[in-house]
Structure 1
């Protein structure tokens, strides 16, 4: 019998002013051909990192994860700290030697060019370093004094691999981990993020700029001249979270619920920071649509295979295209979401028919939490969720609207 699944999908339409938030090796804003047209693109890696940084900012430092080649240096630094601060009070040389021995069971390939670094990035929780030190059971000083072979044998008796295989922080549980040298350390990601694409054709433009030398009183020439490439776009962003996979990664239902809701919040609010000081491109989405599905995820980017060509703005036309595609997928494939939730800053009866009423984003998150909690507790998504905000027709159409859950 197939285990039950629940996918929480996030569909976002977000308009960006002139910007270059994710560039290629030549400094050009990343692009892609889709539907035969040149589109603005923001890579999934760029937005995943922005999401992870936003997510991590809201939790204590000790509960965060880090992705680094320097696990050996971090571990030796912990071992060198005083016992009163959770360390082992070792000298620098002893700490480095014991840290290297403690990590040996992982079989991580070392960098060929840089000492004390692994050959690739390792994603782990900072608290897991404390768990590794706890394995020493107060014997750090005596172990550090053993000959190499005896120390190696002692390390084999410790549950090093098991310690890093469990107790994952939420970031690792969400975004996963792959360790080629030791597959048992792999963590299947609960989240998939698509490359963001503009719903329309874009053209790269160039900003010619000069910088003035404030102390130059001899001539009127510029102290520096340069160019930076940019574009502006309305992006379709998509991510899907497998709640069942997240639950397996975290084991705790409460931790799963918190991580899932906070991921949706962070993915929605985050923004890659490329050339941020130059363009100040921070905007908020014009549409956030969350769909809950029990069968399979459905990326609705096909709504924009034919580029949008709005004459009075692109966001509204893009939203209507998205609504039409959601309905077409449901009609053609018989695959309709178990529930939809939406927040949008414009009102249109056609959008309400497809997405349900709009609610403020905090209310969307509250409804989402209730629905996910119902699935985790009872194995089902409710047909609807209580309203968390006024959805009166008299609401100003220009103000952020409210979203209640809409049953299948």
Structure 2
């Protein structure tokens, strides 16, 4: 039986624009007939995996998502004195290991453009190291890579963020990794009114006697909400993806959980300083089929005491679902708003 770990979090953000749409406004979703603020799962995962907390906990085990692997190899070859034509050709063959190289349409503007891939590839540290080592070897021996040397992808020593969030390589499906962690879009538990902040900037060197007007005018959208975030982790798949390295599995689980509870998306942080820790979290562990508890908030929570009401609703829904479906998953929670429970206890529960 598969062991699932589920995290349910409530995080309160005041005025914020953490995740923007194509117009620059905060992303939203209509739920239960009312508009809510939304933070995409992509935004959350990006913020978590690039955070100092995550990187410090798992240094040396975090991958790189890029389309410039071949370009990096080309730089090594060119810096070593290999002529440009050969350097580009050899680097392009390296890039082809990870995806389809870009076309030559912009070749005149940037000769190295064809060493980049059209799609981003998520590569592990050992794979990046293999690319660097191969480029250095080719430069030293002044020759093209062999077919065997271009087998640069690996299953061993997998990066933790690839193990968690997966990767898809259309040209090399044997090296695809199924994601062990699923992250839902976070949404506000109450109805949202997206507002516009009209702002001005003053030119410090402009004399008021000459022109009392502002040096710049602008506006930006924002909103405030208590967000519900749901994360589901297939512990067995994570263990498989990390080649049964149990120490690394537990370090990954602890780092991901703490990061999800503490790290905010980076959108408009300089404008709003909208950083927050989760006010409440519930962690579940067991072999029952996982399920979100988002249904607790289809009817929006408006007015005061949003956190207390949200906790009551989600707790009651979980109890009702367990009763109806006969589920037996263990759980633990903490409530920072009331000073009950602790982060350490949740982390220990997840990894036990």
The unaligned stretches of length 5 or more in structure 2 are 106-112
Q: Which residue of 1 aligns with 2:151?
A: 160
| Cα distance in 2, alignment partners of residues 295 and 79 from structure 1 | 53
User: Match for 2:172 among 182, 201, 210?
Assistant: 182
TM norm structure 2? 0.88
Match of 2:231 among 239, 243, 251: 239
Question: Is structure 2 residue 25 aligned with structure 1 residue 10?
Answer: no
RMSD: 2.4
Partner Cα separation in structure 1 for residue 69 and residue 133 of structure 2 = 16
- Residue 65 of structure 1 is matched in structure 2 by 63
Give the CA deviation at 1:297: 1.1
Q: Distance in 1 between matches of 2:61 and 2:72?
A: 15
- 1:233-273 deviations in Å (ceiling 9; x for gaps): 01001111111111111111221121122111111111111
Question: Which residue among 199, 202, 210 is the counterpart of 2:192?
Answer: 202
Q: 1:322 to 1:232 in 2, by over 3 A?
A: same
Sort the Cα spacing of 1:141 and 1:71 in 2 relative to 1 into closer, same or farther, 3 A.
same
Q: Residues 101-120 of structure 1 correspond to what in structure 2 (within 5 A)?
A: 101-104=93-96, 106=97, 108-112=99-103, 113=105, 114-120=113-119
Quote the Cα distance in structure 1 between the aligned partners of 2:81 and 2:54: 30
Is 1:47 matched up with 2:40?
no
Secondary structure of 1:240's partner?
Answer: strand
Structure 1 CA distance for aligned equivalents of residues 20 and 192 of structure 2: 15
Counterpart position of 1:360? 342
Shift of 1:21: 0.7
Which runs of structure 2 are paired with 1:8-407 in the superposition (5 Å)? 8-54=5-51, 56-59=54-57, 62-77=60-75, 91=82, 93=84, 95-104=87-96, 106=97, 108-112=99-103, 113=105, 114-132=113-131, 141-142=140-141, 144-145=142-143, 151=144, 155-158=146-149, 160=151, 163-217=153-207, 218-251=210-243, 252-309=245-302, 311-337=303-329, 339-347=330-338, 358-369=340-351, 371=352
Question: What SS class does the counterpart of residue 108 from structure 1 fall into?
Answer: coil
| The 10-residue stretch of structure 1 (217-226 or 116-125) with the greater mean CA deviation from structure 2 | 217-226
Contact 2:76 2:136 in 1 (8 A): no
For structure 1, the residue ranges without an aligned partner over 5 or more in a row are: 82-88, 146-150, 349-357, 372-408
Cα distance change of structure 1 residues 59 and 78 upon mapping to structure 2, 3 Å threshold: farther
TM-score under structure 1 normalisation? Answer: 0.77
User: Greater relative contact order: 1 or 2 (C-alpha under 8 angstroms, separation 6 or more)?
Assistant: 2
Q: Is the 8 A contact 1:76 1:92 kept in 2?
A: no
Deviations 1:326-374 (A, max 9, x none): 111101111232x2121212349xxxxxxxxx422123213322x2xxx
How much has 1:280 moved relative to structure 2?
0.7
Conserved? CA contact 1:174–1:189, under 8 Å: yes
CA contact (8 A) 2:183 2:232 kept: yes
Q: Is the 8 A contact 1:14 1:285 kept in 2?
A: yes
Asked whether the equivalents of residues 17 and 222 of structure 2 are also in contact (C-alpha less than 8 Å), the reply is yes
Deviations 1:109-143 (A, max 9, x none): 1112433210100000233222345579957633x
| Alignment check: 8 A CA contact 1:165 1:184 kept | no
